[in-house]
Amino acid sequence: MSTIKDVADRANVSIATVSRVLNNNRYVSPDLRERVQQAIRDLKYEQNVMARNLRRNQSVTLGVIIPDATNPFFAEVTRGVEDVCFERGFIVILCNTSEDTHRAASYLSTLYQHRVAGIVLVTPGDLREELRYHIDKGDPLVLVDRPLPDVPADMVTSDNYGGGYQAIHHLVELGHRRIGLITGGHHLQTTKERYAGVQAALKAAAIPLEPGLVYEQGDYMARSGYEGLAALMQVPHPPTAVFAFNDLMALGALSYAYDHHIHIPDDLSIIGFDDIQASEFFVPALTTIAQPRYELGRIAAELLIDRILGNDHALTNERLPTYLVKRKTTAALVPVNGAHA
Amino acid sequence: MSTIKDVADRANVSIATVSRVLNNNRYVSPDLRERVQQAIRDLKYEQNVMARNLRRNQSVTLGVIIPDATNPFFAEVTRGVEDVCFERGFIVILCNTSEDTHRAASYLSTLYQHRVAGIVLVTPGDLREELRYHIDKGDPLVLVDRPLPDVPADMVTSDNYGGGYQAIHHLVELGHRRIGLITGGHHLQTTKERYAGVQAALKAAAIPLEPGLVYEQGDYMARSGYEGLAALMQVPHPPTAVFAFNDLMALGALSYAYDHHIHIPDDLSIIGFDDIQASEFFVPALTTIAQPRYELGRIAAELLIDRILGNDHALTNERLPTYLVKRKTTAALVPVNGAHA
DNA sequence: TACAGTTTAGAAAACGTTTACATAACAAGA
DNA sequence: TCTTGTTATGTAAACGTTTTCTAAACTGTA
């Protein structure tokens, strides 16, 4: 691998001159410039960005730490980050934690050791101690999707509380009163917030929360949605509508319903959360609470890069709105009363 | 940000000693070692991996260039790469090309300038010229999923030809003779191979290929599957079975079928390709040709890292087998003849 | 013709590490 | 006591850049 020195030798100039044509920030005579460029071509020289960054004491790399890039929600967030990075000349290092706090902590250190300019983090759990350590040093960081209290970092999240409220409100408006829940992990702030929104909406509609109607073992993956609906349909008075805390679990629920001849939305309404790209093509097309996934990533990246570039604004806590996307999995409750039996 | 020099000063030792406790590769007396470690803690020192790599002339970073991390297939491949990297102390830089050859070429250069140790590439098109340039320099590279002829690089792909054959064979075995195709972009080698497999299987069954039964505008995204099936059902003699060249398009087709009251699999059989995680939960559960997506990524990463570490084996061209996963979207053709009309 | 000012290019220091080399201290065998 | 050998530490060079500083060469004006 050839270096700037090789180029300089071949072009019979000093390395300073080569550096100047590389960055063209100083005048170099056409003659020398041409010789240098020829040498670069001859040697297939590629600038060593690491060395450059070392000398300049800068970095054009962002770290992204997410639970699982295989989950469409995080994939879309990551895509937002990466697109901004591409536009602004950064590159992104991707790290999957599999919801493992240790792996996240490990990646956090690794990334800063690699001198990333900043990190976009979807935390798998309570990483406050590790974060404080890094933030105290001044390492830029932005928390996405899952906030963490008392951490002095930028955060960009969506309005999970509002989203939970909207989901239930929609179901209630359709006349449902027996509403089942398939939640996600309860250690997650997002789950808690959605749950709080649910409770508020239920209360507003004067519907008591029935413990039997909430399946708590959801883990935001499709299979648990399948199992969740299975459990919910086993209770004495099954729900007429179910709110799955994300689209993947809603997909699982749809699958269970199909397998057991539960007709959606006539027999049962299902509503999801996220509005991942595919949800439009679920069968039936999924009614869901949309989050601006891609925007979440974009905004986080913009925030981070701005801060890195020295535009230090006050700590932001951006909370993006969610909204209902009505499709085909929810419908008005048709009152079936005992008269038929 | 403190440096090794700061640590040395505070611990009253030379930087060499600090380096030695950092890498613990030389004997350092317990006394000094303790002082150094204390200083590291005090200063919150983090090793600068870039500087280390510069000096050692090594790199522990892999680049991954894929069309779109938002596509579950590529997400799962990437996940395979990343897991191997984590195990072996590497990190991965992720680049999405959006199927844009220029963006890919740009990333290729950027990555090598960042001195990644190697690149895992799912090429968006014919990048042979650019690749030759880099390969000639000796930059390690492995092509995944989409091979490129005459490129002296390791390749790991799946048996798309065989997969295409299997898909058609399965449908034929079920009695179908009017088989529709929703293909992907025809500039892609994978598409061509699947298509060739299809043709071979059709020929083996003595079924002529009807141009009207192949929808060529597919782009491997769900929407085009929806539109593809729409187009196929409009022809005078619509197919009784459809092979969508990937699961996402199969999902789109399922969605169209549902919207237009085409019952799957009774009225129409559908088979996909990939076996992405979610396909098991499609409605109905998707019959598909499975590719070892995660393994594709893992093997690519192993190959690359081995080569980087100097185990230079001959060029490999690993071709992983595909296999049929029978689920609920295909069924035996029930002969409906004119007698009923 | 001389002088100041400007332009162009090279020399060398710096970025934060690792590591080859040098050296001091000490133990042990003669 | 004097070598010799070992061990523990430090000094300095090197990695590939950028950039400050310096110097040489040129330009133009008096």
The string of pLDDT tens digits covering residues A235-261 is 999 999 999 999 999 999 999 999 999
3-state SS, residue A189: helix
Question: Is A42:A71 a contact under the CB 8 Å cutoff?
Answer: no
Sequential DSSP letters for A57-122: T---EEEEEES-TTSHHHHHHHHHHHHHHHHTT-EEEEEE-TT-HHHHHHHHHHHHHTT-SEEEE-
A203 Cβ contact list (under 8 Å, min separation 6): none
Q: How confident is the model at residue B338 (pLDDT cuts 50, 70, 90)?
A: very low
CB contact under 8 A, B83 and A96: yes
CB contact under 8 A, A70 and B76: yes
Q: How many CB atoms lie within 10 A of CB B315?
A: 11
Cα–Cα distance, B155 to B142 (Å, whole number) = 5
**Interface-testing mutation among B64, B256, B283, with chain A (most A C-beta atoms within 10 A):** B283
Rounded to 5 degrees, φ, ψ at A271 are: -130, 140
Rounded to 5 degrees, φ, ψ at B287 are: -75, 135
Q: How confident is the model at residue A35 (pLDDT cuts 50, 70, 90)?
A: very high
Tell me the pLDDT tens digit for each residue of A264-280. 999 999 999 999 999 99
Q: Over 50: is that where the pLDDT of B110 sits?
A: yes
Q: How confident is the model at residue A337 (pLDDT cuts 50, 70, 90)?
A: low
β-strand A214-215 against B91-96: which pairing, if any?
Answer: unpaired
Percent of chain B with pLDDT over 90: 93
Q: Over 70: is that where the pLDDT of A99 sits?
A: yes
Q: How confident is the model at residue B26 (pLDDT cuts 50, 70, 90)?
A: confident
Which amino acid is residue A299, in one-letter code?
A: I
Nearest to A331 by CA among A176, A204, A213, A201: A176
Q: Over 80: is that where the pLDDT of B340 sits?
A: no
Q: How many CB atoms lie within 10 A of CB B23?
A: 10
Report the footprint of strand C: residues with C-beta closer than 7 angstroms. A 12-17, 26-29, 31-32, 51, 54-55, 57; B 1, 3-5, 15-16, 19-20, 22-23, 25, 45-48, 51-52, 54-56
Cα–Cα distance, A113 to B240 (Å, whole number) = 58
Q: Over 80: is that where the pLDDT of A216 sits?
A: yes
Question: Is B295:B269 a contact under the CB 8 Å cutoff?
Answer: no
In angstroms, the Cα distances linking A145 to A7, A150, A157, A293, A319 are 48, 16, 4, 9, 9
CB contact under 8 A, A137 and B1: yes
DSSP state of B120: E
Nearest to A280 by CA among B313, B324, B258, B312: B258
pLDDT at position B336 is 59
Q: What is the mean pLDDT of residues B65-75?
A: 97
Range list of H helices, chain B = 4-11, 15-23, 30-43, 49-56, 72-87, 101-113, 128-137, 160-173, 189-204, 222-234, 247-259, 293-308
Which amino acid is residue B273, in one-letter code?
A: F
Separation of CA A95 from chain center: 12
pLDDT at position A336 is 60
Nearest to B50 among A54, A103, A223 (CB): A54
Cα–Cα distance, A261 to A281 (Å, whole number) = 20
Nearest C-alpha in A relative to B41: A133
Which amino acid is residue A207, in one-letter code?
A: I
DSSP state of A280: G
Cα–Cα distance, A265 to B141 (Å, whole number) = 50
* Sheet containing A118-121, strands listed edge to edge, beginning at the edge strand earlier in sequence: A317-320, A154-158, A141-144, A118-121, A61-66, A91-96, B91-96, B61-66, B118-121, B141-144, B154-158, B317-320
Measured from Cα to the C1' atom, the residue closest to D10 is B14
Q: Where are the beta strands (DSSP E) in chain A?
A: 61-66, 91-96, 118-121, 141-144, 154-158, 179-182, 214-215, 241-244, 269-274, 287-290, 317-320, 323-325
Token output for B276: 């992405």
3-state SS, residue A215: strand
CB contact under 8 A, B94 and A78: yes
Please tell me the distance in Å from B79's CA to the nearest CA on chain A.
7
Tell me the pLDDT tens digit for each residue of A184-206. 999 999 999 999 999 999 999 99
Domains of chain B: 4-47 (1.10.260.40), 59-158+293-320 (3.40.50.2300), 160-291+325-340 (3.40.50.2300)
Q: How confident is the model at residue A73 (pLDDT cuts 50, 70, 90)?
A: very high
pLDDT at position A25 is 85
Token output for B93: 């830089």
CA–C1' gap, A58 and C16, in angstroms: 13
CB contact under 8 A, B95 and A114: no
